[in-house]
Amino acid sequence: MSDQQREAAFSRRAVLGWGGAGLALGAAAAGGVAVAAGGGGDNGPSGGGSVPFHGPHQAGIATAVQDRLHFAAFDVKTDDRAELIRVLKDWTRAAERMTAGHAVGDGAYGGVPEAPPDDTGEALGLPPSRLTLTVGFGPSLFDHRFGLAKRRPSALVDLPKFPGDNLDPVRSNGDLCVQACADDPQVAVHAIRNLARIGFGKVAVRWSQLGFGKTSSTTPDAQTPRNLFGFKDGTRNVSGTDTAGLDRHVWAAQQPGAAWMAGGSYLVARRIRMNIETWDRTSLQEQEDVFGRDKQEGAAVTRAKEHDEPFLKAMKPDSHVRLAHPDSNHGATILRRGYSFTDGTDGLGRLEAGLFFLAYQRDPRTGFIPVQSGLARSDALNEYIQHVGSALFAVPPGVRDTDDWWGRALFT
Amino acid sequence: MSARPRPLLLGTAAIAVAVTLSGCTQKASGEDGAVSVTASDSACKVSTTEFPAGHVSLALENKGSRVTEVYVLFPDDRIAAERENLGPGTKATLVTELGPGDYEIACKPGMKGDGIRQKVKLTGRNAAAERSPEADAAVAAYRSYVLAQAEQTLPKAKAFAAAVEAGDVEKAKKLYAPSRIGWERTEPVAESFGDIDPKVDVREDGLEDGQDPETDWTGWHRLEKALWQDKKIGDREKELAGRLMTDLDAWVKKVGTAEITPTSMANGAKSLLDEVALNKVTGEEERYSHTDLVDFKANLEGARKSYDLLKPIARKNDSSLARELDKQFASLTKQLDVYRTDDGADQDSYTYRSYDKVSEAERKDLSDGVNALAEPLSKLAAAVAK
């Protein structure tokens, strides 16, 4: 643990301890606790493992990819617009606290003994672990229920059916999503669990996915991580520090009818099951041909180094890198921050594993859709993978300050 | 309940935890070491001035020449317990439930005036707050509800047992679910008697290692399996029907002695929803008969009863919570009643769609509805404890 992390961990405990003591003093101290809670957003531990929550864009997109993921999609169960707004406001306040390393509400202990505590407590004593929480709105949110139909951005399309898709409806779609990324899985799970709890009765978890072993990097000088097939992928991913690239490929522009999305992004989430066992029985040559890279270095065919520009025509026409490359897709570029997953084994003893693909882009019609159309038709990798879950979300711009909340521009 | 040997029912230490969680405890009255109060025309002698809170048993004796009465009073002179019309030379026992704190015991020779008083201190860690009259009223009303449910269950259970004893499979199947409704409505109280629940409501996977389902499994679910899976009634089943009645008789006798507090009522309501979330929504509880939705309804009604009785207190302390609970109770009731298959005329013998005919998507919806109610309901105890 770095000194900064240690300091952050200490601050978390200090704030909690203070809140607990305040409660023990009785009703007179309640105001003091409220002040501590309000101040926790901006004045809590900063740096040292915490990613700033406020800003023009939501954290968790250009942020250097953390090690772990808990992603959850929610259905909105209420038809009451005010209740939905209440959830988004409550979520925002809780997210401010959790990303700064503080407990939710009045904390995990020290409250009324007869009642469950506000915070579930499993992140006590852990540093913020660079937790980011990123919210998105699915196409289904823009139906008749909340009067949002006219505000649905044209880029928030219904994804087409791609050849080979075998989508499970209970692992697809959703009115809302929250992406929790952190360097500690317990911190990410804690965040989703507490947001789900705050939302009960108004929103319900539709599906969720845990991820580990980031499969792409937004910091190109770091080593590109490998996926569960053992290959480096996403070498050419958009860098989190490449402002021009982000403006061009990731941040949404102001669109007619959807001004609220300016500075936001569009998130495609796909659960891609990998046929691990058959892949592992595949010859090295075939594996390298499928990707179009060598397994050791990650260099494209005929190239020496991973970051050497690939010579597409030297690759097999159905190789993954060739088909996914911007040059094969009229320049289409997306920011990937997917994770590997394994949910144990299926009933047949096969690893229930794969890639949980997460991609951010300015517009899926010029980003994911053309790229995936080509891949779904021709990619040699299709023999070893299957897309089993799918969702698309409009990710609104960032929360500016402690008066702002997720989605304010959409709802007001 | 008793899907599997849940830690709550394992061992005595665990039972102590269960007792704390549900707040419903059982204690026999008239324990040894009762405190004696000897009244005379000019004295009110208490054998000890400091004794444990909880179930308190006072052995009263009037050695005076006039009729007297004995009171246990709060510091503000509110009556905590009383015994009137104690004639000269007579004895009586006053059993009551008191939290820790300072009290006065007063004897009133001639049943007049302020009486002759003696300060006493009740000790204990269970710092239950003093009850307001409305809390007492809620507890009293809930106690009589629990008793009434138990008493109304007996004839229904008897009819079910009689059908089993007569070897009538079809009739027994019809009478099975209704025979459980009163039990399911008041399960947290019934469960506080650690010995009865495992006898009447355990499921096969709730048996411990070394227990033989043939000989050690008793109660409703054993008969459920015979009726729906084995589809026959043998001598063993007839014997078990009789034993079920013996155990339910014991339940009815005990239920009036359960300790009930406003927080135990609130947490009991929450634990009824937990029952639904863990065992009914999954179809685990009634895996042979698929009558899970009848149990679901009964659990919901029992929780609703607790809440309705506590509502005046909850509304005063946390009005937005009360509004939310009103809404969620109504909403889940409405959601559940979509599956009802009778005309709704009989409150004690309703029927619902067989749970194996409830789709995964419908179960998910029911589960979401249960979460929507159970989450705010978990805050009720704090609201009534304020």
Whether residue B367 sits in one domain with residue B266: yes
CA B78 to chain CA mean position, Å: 27
Chain A residues contacting B via beta carbons under 8 Å: 75, 77, 111-112, 114-116, 170, 197, 200-202, 204
CB-based contact (8 Å) between B84 and chain A? no
Whether residue B108 sits in one domain with residue B137: no
Distance from the A183 Cα atom to the nearest Cα atom in chain B, whole angstroms: 29
| Cβ–Cβ < 8 Å for B29, B270 | no
Q: Which residues contact residue A289 at a Cβ distance below 8 angstroms, ignoring those fewer than 6 apart?
A: A316, A319, A380
For chain A, residues with pLDDT lower than 50 are: 1-48
Structural domain contains residue B14: no
CB-based contact (8 Å) between B363 and chain A? no
Phi, psi at A406, each rounded to 5°: -55, 115
Q: What is the pLDDT of residue B191?
A: 81
CA-based nearest residue in chain B for residue A207: B364
Whether residue B303 sits in one domain with residue B222: yes
Structural domain contains residue B6: no
Q: What is the pLDDT of residue A108?
A: 93
In this predicted structure, the answer to whether residue B386 has a pLDDT above a threshold of 80 is no
Q: Which three-class secondary structure state does DSSP give residue A369?
A: helix
Q: Is the dihedral of CA B177, B179, B181, B184 positive or negative?
A: negative
Kindly state the tokens that stand for A317.
């026409």
Burial tier of B295 (Cβ tally within 10 Å: 0-12, 13-18, 19+) = buried
Residues of B in contact with A174 (CB under 8 A): none
**Alpha carbons A29 and A41: distance in angstroms, whole number:** 20
Give me the mean pLDDT over the B67-95 stretch: 80
Residue in B278, B379, B281 with CA at minimum distance from that of residue B325: B379
| Cβ–Cβ < 8 Å for A111, A16 | no
| Cβ–Cβ < 8 Å for A173, A391 | yes
Structural domain contains residue B2: no
Q: What is the pLDDT of residue B33?
A: 60
Phi, psi at A128, each rounded to 5°: -60, -25
Q: Which residues contact residue B144 at a Cβ distance below 8 angstroms, ignoring those fewer than 6 apart?
A: none
B259-296 pLDDT tens trace: 888 988 999 999 999 999 999 999 999 999 999 999 99
| The domain boundary residue, chosen from B89, B107, B130 | B130
- Which ipTM was obtained for this model? 0.78
β-pair type (A68-76, A203-214): antiparallel
CB-based contact (8 Å) between B126 and chain A? no
Q: Which three-class secondary structure state does DSSP give residue A306?
A: coil
- Nearest CB to A77; choose among B372, B378, B381: B372
**Alpha carbons B181 and A408: distance in angstroms, whole number:** 48
Instruction: Name the residue range of residue B237's domain.
Output: 131-386
In this predicted structure, the answer to whether residue B341 has a pLDDT above a threshold of 80 is yes
In this predicted structure, the answer to whether residue B10 has a pLDDT above a threshold of 50 is no
Residues of B in contact with A117 (CB under 8 A): none
Kindly state the tokens that stand for B30.
């008239």
Whether residue B227 sits in one domain with residue B163: yes
Residues of B in contact with A170 (CB under 8 A): 360, 364
Q: Where are the beta strands (DSSP E) in A203-301?
A: 203-214, 265-274
β-pair type (B116-123, B50-52): parallel
Interface-testing mutation among A84, A114, A173, A203, with chain B (most B C-beta atoms within 10 A): A114
Q: What is the pLDDT of residue B78?
A: 67
| The domain boundary residue, chosen from B130, B148, B171 | B130
User: What Å distances lie between residue A5 and A2, A97, B11, CA to CA?
Assistant: 5, 16, 43
Question: Cβ separation of A115 and B379 shorter than 8 Å?
Answer: yes
Whether residue B265 sits in one domain with residue B345: yes
| Cβ–Cβ < 8 Å for B248, B200 | yes
CA-based nearest residue in chain B for residue A169: B361
Q: What is the pLDDT of residue A154?
A: 94
Residues of B in contact with A200 (CB under 8 A): 371-372, 374-376
Whether residue B119 sits in one domain with residue B45: yes
**Alpha carbons A276 and A283: distance in angstroms, whole number:** 13
**Alpha carbons B371 and B362: distance in angstroms, whole number:** 14
Highest mean pLDDT among A38-47, B135-144, B234-243: B234-243
Residue in A340, A231, A236 with CA at minimum distance from that of residue A295: A231
Q: What is the CATH number of the domain that holds B292?
A: 1.20.1420.20
Whether residue B144 sits in one domain with residue B71: no
CA-based nearest residue in chain A for residue B23: A114
**Alpha carbons A320 and A374: distance in angstroms, whole number:** 10
| The domain boundary residue, chosen from B88, B109, B130 | B130
Structural domain contains residue B27: no
What is the arrangement of strands in the sheet containing B101-107, beginning at the earlier edge strand?
B50-52, B116-123, B101-107, B68-73, B79-86
Length of chain B: 386
Q: Which residues contact residue B99 at a Cβ distance below 8 angstroms, ignoring those fewer than 6 apart?
A: B53, B122, B124, B126, B127, B128, B129, B130, B131
Residues of A in contact with B381 (CB under 8 A): 114-115
User: What Å distances lie between residue B244 and A29, B145, B161, B257, CA to CA?
Assistant: 54, 22, 8, 21
Kindly state the tokens that stand for A328.
């094969």
Residues of A in contact with B373 (CB under 8 A): 201
Whether residue B58 sits in one domain with residue B205: no
Kindly state the tokens that stand for A181.
């990324």
Whether residue B220 sits in one domain with residue B230: yes
B13-21's contacts with Cβ under 8 Å and 24+ in sequence apart are B15/B194, B18/B191, B18/B192, B18/B194, B19/B192, B21/B267, B21/B271
**Alpha carbons A133 and A193: distance in angstroms, whole number:** 12
Distance from the B275 Cα atom to the nearest Cα atom in chain A, whole angstroms: 17
Whether residue B162 sits in one domain with residue B46: no
**Alpha carbons A300 and A308: distance in angstroms, whole number:** 7
> Could you write out the DSSP letters of every residue in A84-99?
HHHHHHHHHHHHHHHH
| Cβ–Cβ < 8 Å for B173, B286 | no
In this predicted structure, the answer to whether residue B23 has a pLDDT above a threshold of 50 is no
Whether residue B353 sits in one domain with residue B248: yes
Q: Which residues contact residue A103 at a Cβ distance below 8 angstroms, ignoring those fewer than 6 apart?
A: A12, A15, A16, A19, A97, A118, A119, A121, A123, A124
Whether residue B237 sits in one domain with residue B143: yes
Q: Which three-class secondary structure state does DSSP give residue B230?
A: helix
- Nearest CB to A115; choose among B360, B371, B381: B381
Please tell me the least confidently modeled range out of A2-6, B5-9, B80-84. B5-9
Q: How many CB pairs under 8 A join A and B?
A: 39
B342-366 pLDDT tens trace: 988 887 789 999 999 999 999 999 9
Q: How many CB atoms lie within 10 A of CB A226?
A: 15
Higher pLDDT, B57 or B67: B67
In this predicted structure, the answer to whether residue B188 has a pLDDT above a threshold of 70 is yes
Kindly state the tokens that stand for B170.
């079809």
Q: Is the dihedral of CA A72, A77, A79, A84 positive or negative?
A: negative
Question: Cβ separation of A204 and B372 shorter than 8 Å?
Answer: yes
In this predicted structure, the answer to whether residue B167 has a pLDDT above a threshold of 90 is yes
Residue in A263, A264, A339 with CA at minimum distance from that of residue A71: A339
Structural domain contains residue B346: yes
Kindly state the tokens that stand for A64.
């250097």
- Nearest CB to B385; choose among A75, A114, A202: A114
- Counting the structural domains of chain B, the total is 2
Structural domain contains residue B29: no
> pTM of the prediction?
0.77
Compute the half-sphere exposure of residue A93: CA atoms within 13 Å on the CB side of its CA.
Answer: 16
**Alpha carbons A356 and A191: distance in angstroms, whole number:** 19
Q: What is the CATH number of the domain that holds B83?
A: 2.60.40.420
Residues of A in contact with B371 (CB under 8 A): 200-201, 204
Structural domain contains residue B264: yes
**Alpha carbons B235 and B238: distance in angstroms, whole number:** 5
Structural domain contains residue B267: yes
